[in-house]
Chains A and B, each alone.
Chain A
């Protein structure tokens, strides 16, 4: 078999300067916390989903989904460790495996596999299904194996700093340099720690978030990313002659609560270069969503989300991701009970990209139980 996979002439190397900087600062910093502390969380969820499609009978039917997400953290004087493992009926994967050196109470340098800071939803909820109000994630924030258009899991270095202004407002800054996913078949595939020799190039990201009140979770921010995605051109006939994809994104996000309302929004502008042997195809589009949650009481929340885009229907890049959510209108209700359990019901009218330039349309009813222990 001829392997037409494009091999990068020079694979991306983690910045040695940053690693050296860690060691220097580690020896010069001051103590940050006291005794070592362990913590563990277990997120469980069970979901049933019924799909009715007007465009593709193959999409119709009922399916269920079970998932357990285990989180372990360790904190000592200056060192922090975090691991997150997801086990479900469709996958078993080490999602995050990262360690940090804490220079002071406001600055940390992480090393390992972590969620991209430019993927807003992932950096807020990670795999903790109970923590998000809705059952579904917005299409733009989906994981790589769910046809997410942006990298979610990257491996490398992440520097985080918090500027506290007047003891009340905060600016959070993040900068990461890591291995980007590659493109295989019909999706992005993250760097595998157990296969370090695989082809992966640079994923560079920066994020700036402003929180007007340190005691509140309200925030608004910007996220920038540059991803050089190596393509396995033998894995899909649609990828023949495609060597690499350069993806630059600029996103603006907000998470704002006002009395009983909470608003979540993220809009991302994509600038794509699809580098074929015969030339480069350029592509730009916007994907985004607005979600509103309304707390009727402490236990009941109704919510809705609209997902849409601009110029996304003509995108050559999105044609490579047939299951990517292009449009969705969703409504739902959530009941929280027994301190850390929730039942959520969600109905949605959804369009995925489909093959070629025709969308697959379907309606979905989902019900989910989710919980966190302890």
Chain B
């Protein structure tokens, strides 16, 4: 009888732990805005982030913000389009093309690969980029300045 109770308690504890672990993993699924750790910029408004990615010049703490785009992760790109610029891919591309065509305004630099993105972030201290929080937590050269999206 006692042995049966122990097995039940053990199973219950295992299920509980598993649920907590899943919960923990789910909580980590977030997209954050990062910048070089040595940058004087410590925060940026949601409006300024959107402006920067729409090709509008944004100055924060005396720094001209240079947005970088990740194109290597489709899901991250979808979250970027929905949560940051609130546009379809076609509308966003047209918007940037239009600025370039009208007066040569450069488009946000597109980067393929996480390592290259980190390299560019640290090379240009006023550059910002969006990435998974789990990836941002692993690199000490960058700092998180805003949570852009969290899975609910």
Contacts and interface: CB of A to CB of B under 8 A. Distances in A.
Q: Are A and B interaction partners?
A: yes
8 contacts: A32-B64, A34-B66, A39-B106, A39-B107, A124-B102, A125-B101, A215-B56, A339-B89
B60 to A, nearest CB: 12
Given A32-B64, A37-B106, A39-B107, A71 B93 contact: no
Nearest to A32: B64
Interface in A278-313: 298-299
Contacts of A217: 95, 98
Interface string B86-122: 0011110111011011111111010000000000000
B70 interface: no
B145 interface: no
B64 A33 contact: yes
Contacts of B72: none
A82 B97 contact: no
Interface in B9-55: 47, 50-51, 54
Interface in A197-215: 214-215
Nearest to A110: B103
A71 B100 contact: yes
A81 B124 contact: no
A231 to B, nearest CB: 32
A128 interface: yes
Contact of B102 (A37, A105, A126, A167): A126
Interface residues of A, number: 36
A34 B124 contact: yes
B95 A131 contact: no
Interface residues of B, number: 30
Given A105-B59, A106-B57, A167-B47, A123 B100 contact: no
Given A73-B100, A123-B102, A339-B90, A35 B124 contact: yes
A33 B97 contact: no
Contacts of B101: 41, 71, 125-126, 128, 131
Given A80-B104, A167-B47, 10 more contacts: A33-B66, A37-B106, A71-B100, A75-B106, A80-B103, A124-B98, A125-B101, A160-B103, A214-B56, A372-B97
Contacts of A214: 51, 56
Nearest to B50: A215
A232 interface: no
A238 interface: no
Given A131-B98, A217-B95, A82 B104 contact: yes
Contacts of A131: 94, 97-98, 101
Contacts of B127: 34
Identify which of B59, B103, B106, B126 gathers the most chain A CB atoms within 10 Å of its CB: B103
Contacts of B47: 167
A105 B107 contact: no
A160 B105 CA distance: 13
B56 A41 contact: no
B17 to A, nearest CB: 46
Contacts of B56: 214-215
Nearest to A374: B110
A340 interface: yes
B69 to A, nearest CB: 13
Contacts of B102: 123-124, 126
A265 B94 CA distance: 20
Contacts of B88: 298
| 10 pairs of A and B residues whose beta carbons are closest in the complex | A73-B104, A82-B104, A105-B57, A37-B106, A75-B106, A128-B101, A80-B104, A34-B124, A298-B88, A126-B101
